[in-house]
């Protein structure tokens, strides 16, 4: 848990500090092309100097930094397991089989539309955007590579579908967190999200149909790619066993680490059975350093080489730095001061919903973590929704429409870092095409303007 604020700041000062941090990070990443780690480290140094000037002892600042980072340890451990899952699914033929049969099953449908719909279905069934992107998402990136389609648009469709599933699935941690934070029954919360989710889904699907390239192009390249898949990978029904195991355990609400562990163990067993040349030291190297595809097709080698614990280190280090910065922002009273000031201005539905949305989005950018954006925003505005007579399910929907789906659009956010890493597409490249994620906040603010989908508490 984060420490309570140690400083009481004027609003202007809190806003100024936040703007300085945001500007420095943005300039470092976007204008100077730096890796996100360095601008965030500079921001941490700045915040610690600021706290020292304000009279806080260094040990208190260090505690705030450490406690902020510790709030993301659950995600860090999941990253380790996802890295092993990806490499083991490549070795066992799970991801290659998804790619191979995906070409045949969806070859007659618009590409980006197919990607969006399938990842939405898988995301709802599994309840994890991370797992969806790391498995079926990687397979679709392979399809797009062979079709010479836009990887940015494909990644945007993957992110849109995966986070639609994460937002709407009863198995999703964010869905349960949003409903529990403000005390709304889970399925009532999911049903109420249809007001914004259905329009966003329809608009996104139509746009992806229009944007999709003509099928049938590069036929020779596709056949070469498919032939290489069959020749160098283990394609068959057995390769789907790990995927089925993960999906079933997720639907049984088994927690993430045991579920991912079952997927890893089952795929390792299948890999040993299918390829007798793999040794135990060799498999250990695959799980740590990643799988390496060695074929005559360069595109196949690029898509089916990766994963492993080592591939997650960039993401893990960035997540810990971003959450540590968030811990300092709370400890120094910067974010709490701004939240309290905004709350005092909320006198209508449009102001209330807009403030909720902007706060959740802001926390995603300044803390880099979707769970905190949902939790802090929900607790900050819960009383105001009750005061104005609105049902709290309106609040829980706004939390999901902004807190859940915005994080993959933040280059230094937990989801943004992870998605960019597993798909191999920079966050800023796919952001314009993550249409569902971009539409959801707009539609939730429009609901405040039009009053559509806003329910009042019974008198």
- Which tokens sit at 74? 């659950």
The Cβ of residue 458 has, within 10 Å, a number of other Cβ atoms equal to 6
Positive/negative CA dihedral, 44, 45, 48, 49 = negative
Rounded CA-CA distance 415/174 in Å is 12
Q: Is 275 helix (H, G, I), strand (E, B) or coil?
A: coil
pTM confidence score: 0.72
CA end-to-end span of the chain, whole Å? 37
With CA atoms as reference, report the closest residue to 388 among 333, 313, 451.
451
- Which tokens sit at 323? 């959450």
Which residues are CB-contacts of 383 (< 8 A; sequence separation ≥ 6)? none
Rounded CA-CA distance 93/271 in Å is 8
Backbone φ and ψ for 456, nearest 5 degrees, come out as: -90, 150
- Which tokens sit at 368? 């880099």
How many CA atoms lie less than 13 Å away from 361 in the CB half-sphere?
17
Find the helix or strand (DSSP H, E) in which 147 lies. none
Q: Are 188 and 415 in contact (CB under 8 A)?
A: no
Distance of CA 158 to the CA centre of its chain: 11
Tens digit of pLDDT per residue, the chain (459 long)?
Answer: 445 778 888 989 998 998 898 788 878 876 777 878 898 899 999 999 999 999 999 999 999 999 888 877 777 888 888 889 888 988 998 888 877 887 677 667 888 998 898 888 878 866 778 878 887 788 788 878 877 889 999 999 999 999 998 898 876 778 877 887 788 887 788 889 999 999 999 999 999 999 988 765 545 556 777 788 888 888 888 889 998 898 888 778 777 788 889 999 999 999 999 888 889 999 999 999 999 988 877 767 777 787 899 988 887 888 788 878 888 988 998 878 887 787 777 778 888 899 889 989 988 887 677 877 887 788 778 777 888 888 888 999 999 999 889 999 998 888 898 899 888 899 999 999 999 999 999 999 998 888 887 777 664
For residue 32, CA distances in Å to 24, 27, 41 come to 10, 6, 15
Alpha helix positions (H), 388-459: 392-399, 405-406, 414-423, 427-430, 435-450
Q: Output Rg (C-alpha) for the chain, integer angstroms.
A: 22
Positive/negative CA dihedral, 35, 41, 47, 49 = negative
Rounded CA-CA distance 237/219 in Å is 25
């Amino acid at each position: 848990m984060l420490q309570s604020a140690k400083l009481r700041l004027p609003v202007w000062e809190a806003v100024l500090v936040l703007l300085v941090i945001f500007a420095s990070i943005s300039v470092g990443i976007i204008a100077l092309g730096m890796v996100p780690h360095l601008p965030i480290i500079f921001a941490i140094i700045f915040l610690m100097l600021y706290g020292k000037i304000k009279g806080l002892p260094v040990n208190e600042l260090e505690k705030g930094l450490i406690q902020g980072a510790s709030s993301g340890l659950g995600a860090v451990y999941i990253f380790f397991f996802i890295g092993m899952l990806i490499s083991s699914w490549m070795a066992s033929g799970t991801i290659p089989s998804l790619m191979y049969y995906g070409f045949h099953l969806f070859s007659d449908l618009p590409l980006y539309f197919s990607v969006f719909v399938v990842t939405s279905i898988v995301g709802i069934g599994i309840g994890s955007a991370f797992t969806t992107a790391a498995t079926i998402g990687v397979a679709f990136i392979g399809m797009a590579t062979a079709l010479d389609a836009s990887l940015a648009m494909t990644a945007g469709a993957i992110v849109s579908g995966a986070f639609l599933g994460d937002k709407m699935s009863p198995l999703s941690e964010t869905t349960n967190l949003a409903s529990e934070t403000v005390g709304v029954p889970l399925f009532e919360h999911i049903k109420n999200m249809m007001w914004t989710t259905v329009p966003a889904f329809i608009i996104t699907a139509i746009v992806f149909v229009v944007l999709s390239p003509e099928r049938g192009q590069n036929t020779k390249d596709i056949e070469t790619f498919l032939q290489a898949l069959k020749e160098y990978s283990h394609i068959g029904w057995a390769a789907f066993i790990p995927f089925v195991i993960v999906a079933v355990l997720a639907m049984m609400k088994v927690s993430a680490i045991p579920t991912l562990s079952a997927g890893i163990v089952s795929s390792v067993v299948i890999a040993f059975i299918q390829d007798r040349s793999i040794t135990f030291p060799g498999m250990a190297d695959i799980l740590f350093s990643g799988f390496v595809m060695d074929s005559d097709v360069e595109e196949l080698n690029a898509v089916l080489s990766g994963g492993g614990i080592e591939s997650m280190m960039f993401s893990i280090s960035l997540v810990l730095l971003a959450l540590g910065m968030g811990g300092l922002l709370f400890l120094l009273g910067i974010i709490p001061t701004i939240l309290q000031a905004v709350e005092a201005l909320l006198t209508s539905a449009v102001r209330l919903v807009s403030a909720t949305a902007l706060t959740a989005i802001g926390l995603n950018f300044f803390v880099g973590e979707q769970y905190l954006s949902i939790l802090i925003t929900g607790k900050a505005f819960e009383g105001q929704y009750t005061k104005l007579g609105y049902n709290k399910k309106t609040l829980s929907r706004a939390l999901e429409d902004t807190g859940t789906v915005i994080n993959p659009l933040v280059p230094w956010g937990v989801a943004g870092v992870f998605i960019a890493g597993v798909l191999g597409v920079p966050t800023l490249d796919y952001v314009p095409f993550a249409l569902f994620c971009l539409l959801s906040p707009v539609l939730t603010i429009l609901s405040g303007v039009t009053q559509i989908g806003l329910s009042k508490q019974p008198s």
